[in-house]
Homo-oligomer: A and B are copies of this chain.
Amino acid sequence: MPAVRAEMRSVRRLAFGLAMGLCLSVSGVAAGVSAAAEPARKVIVDDDGFGLAQWMLLQAPGVDVLGIAVVSGDVWRDEGVAQALRGVEIAHRTDVPVLKGAVYPLLNSEKLTDRWEALYGKLVWKGAWMKQWVEPTAQGLLSYHAPDVVPDLPEGNPVTKASDESAVLFMIRKVHEFPGQVTIIATGPMTDLALAQRIDPSFAGLAKELVYMGGSLNPQQVRGDNAAAEFAREFANSPRREFNFRFDPEAASIVFRAPWKRIVSVPVDPSTATEVTPELLRRLAAANPAFADAVKRKQPGFPLWDEIAAAVWLDPKLITKSEELYVDVNSQFGAGYGDMLSWRPGYQPDMDEQKEVVVRSVDVPRLEQKIVDLLSRKLPPAKQVH
């Protein structure tokens, strides 16, 4: 465990003992943020894994990543935690705590998903529950295994450990510690956020904002290549279905009816103009030797998803089109289970759903350049791992 992380943990314990409140965090200092005129922007990422988005935020100047929470989704939580630990190690940011979120969605389960598919048809992607593709697919399958199994990571296994604190309690504690200052960027299922909101009804209102990747309005296949055509399977016959919502629909509905000050939504729609091409991977590998090995192991063909959420939070000028819509999620166990529901103002049912800023498109060349630029930045010195 790195020395800084041990120090951080004792600080967190103290803060927890003070019952969510007035203790001044040292995380900004620990993160090595330069003392600029602007105070560092505080953010917690909650994701079902670890990817370019987290590196972008860790590398961004003037940003204080308070913690990296991990929830089950694309992979089980424990595998995602390992990815996150390795990710912060590669970025020399073991000062940032990795926090364990929920292993299981609120109501949904693998067995329910089997029954649902028998009634309503096969899902294209099921994350941790995925055993096989319905039809031939270039994208590789992750290994199917039990929740507590952590396969060896291609980028190497981490040597550091996750925090002992629950991701849910950590997020509650941090919004109390920095009221109105913490952005939550949620790029996986929303189980942790729903739990936080039901544990502490003031959670959402104390955060600065929620920025999330999830949901789907009516995406169109933009790019002509085979990878784009394969990913279009996910929305062509289910334009309102997206994995993060579908894995835990009840959680997403709880979150969207919580009193956030502001919500920014990045649905699938803007992602269809993007792709992790071999060329983009080459540019990223060339940007910084520290990330090169891990970047070279990444599979091309995927759209950019979480990266858009991170990027538009860092630089809202990347957004080329957005609109304000009321949003909720269909939590009824039927054909539309997990579907994004949206309403133009005036049509919404007023069941506590919120008006969200929904990103419809982004400037793709600038987005790619943003990712390259952030990854190019010099890393802080590696922390000593004892």
| A-to-B contact residues, CB < 8 Å | 117-122, 124, 134-135, 217-220, 233, 235-237, 239-240, 325, 330, 332, 334-336, 339, 341-344, 346-349, 351
Q: Beyond the given A121-B341, A330-B336, please list 11 additional residue pairs across the A-B interface where CB-CB is below 8 A.
A: A117-B349, A119-B349, A121-B347, A122-B346, A134-B346, A218-B239, A237-B347, A239-B240, A332-B332, A332-B334, A334-B336
Most-contacted residue by chain B among A122, A124, A220, A237 (CB, 10 A): A237
Q: Which residue from chain B places its CB closest to the CB of A334 in the assembled complex?
A: B332
Q: Are A236 and B344 in contact (CB-based, < 8 A)?
A: yes
A336 to B236, CA, bound (A): 17
**Distance in Å from the Cβ of A100 to the closest Cβ of chain B?**
33
A229 to B90, CA, bound (A): 49
Q: In the complex, which of the residues B332, B344, B351 contacts A233, with contact meaning CB atoms closer than 8 Å?
A: B344
Q: In the complex, which of the residues B134, B218, B342, B347 contacts A347, with contact meaning CB atoms closer than 8 Å?
A: B134
Q: Are B343 and A334 in contact (CB-based, < 8 A)?
A: no
Interface SS majority for chain A: loop
**Distance in Å from the Cβ of A191 to the closest Cβ of chain B?**
21
A351 to B119, CA, bound (A): 8
Q: Are B237 and A342 in contact (CB-based, < 8 A)?
A: yes
A207 to B61, CA, bound (A): 69
Q: Which residue from chain B places its CB closest to the CB of A134 in the assembled complex?
A: B346
A332 to B233, CA, bound (A): 24
- Give every chain B residue within 8 A of A124 (Cβ-Cβ): 347
Q: In the complex, which of the residues B117, B135, B336, B342 contacts A346, with contact meaning CB atoms closer than 8 Å?
A: B135
Q: Are A335 and B330 in contact (CB-based, < 8 A)?
A: yes
A346 to B233, CA, bound (A): 12
Q: Are B335 and A339 in contact (CB-based, < 8 A)?
A: yes
A117 to B135, CA, bound (A): 38
Q: Are A121 and B237 in contact (CB-based, < 8 A)?
A: no
Q: Given A330-B335, A335-B339, A339-B336, do A344 and B220 touch, yes or no (CB 8 Å)?
A: no
